[in-house]
Amino acid sequence: MNDLSYVIYIGAKPEDVWQALLSPEGTKATFFGSVIRSTFEIGSSLEYVGPGNDGDETVHVYGKVLAFEPNRVLSVTEHPGPSYNEKHAELETRITMTLEPVGTSTKLTLVNDLWPDDHPSRASTEQSWPMILSNIKSYVETGKTLDLGW
């Protein structure tokens, strides 16, 4: 399957964008009320946990940390949470987010690749990433998220 690749420019320093991507406050605001649980050491587990199918502790996405360079790169494997698909362990993709300073702004590049054939979440993910990235941009620049009906 084709890779999903997005580029967005955010009117803030990479450090501010990084906080929105990883801090509990930032992820709750921009990723459907979820927080990240991880030590962020290479090879360690990573989970996005929040309200959902299994209550407040629903694991929406899980995987392993592949790369972690503060304020610059986060790369992880990604699986849908167990309550979303019984074959979740077989449905692995990779997500890489790269931050680059551009003047006083930040270029955020997101690549979601290595999609297995017939991945059931591919189409919805293609639609979700632009909304999530727009929400991150709004949150970092204004302190408010977009009303996307979530």
Residue 147 lies in a domain: no
Give the residue from 3, 54, 136, 70 showing the smallest Cα distance to 62: 54
Query: Is residue 98 scored above 60 in pLDDT?
Result: yes
Share of the chain above pLDDT 70, in %: 99
Identify the pLDDT of residue 1.
Answer: 52
Which CATH number do you get for residue 67? 3.30.530.20
Number of H helices, E strands in the chain: 3, 7
- Kindly report, residue by residue over 5-36, the tens digit of the pLDDT: 999 999 999 999 999 999 999 999 988 889 99
Residue 75 lies in a domain: yes
Distance, in Å, from the CA atom of 74 to the CA atom of 76, rounded to the nearest integer, reads 7
Residue 50 lies in a domain: yes
Domain count, the chain: 1
- Kindly report, residue by residue over 32-76, the tens digit of the pLDDT: 889 999 999 999 999 999 998 888 889 999 999 999 999 999 999
pTM, 2 dp: 0.93
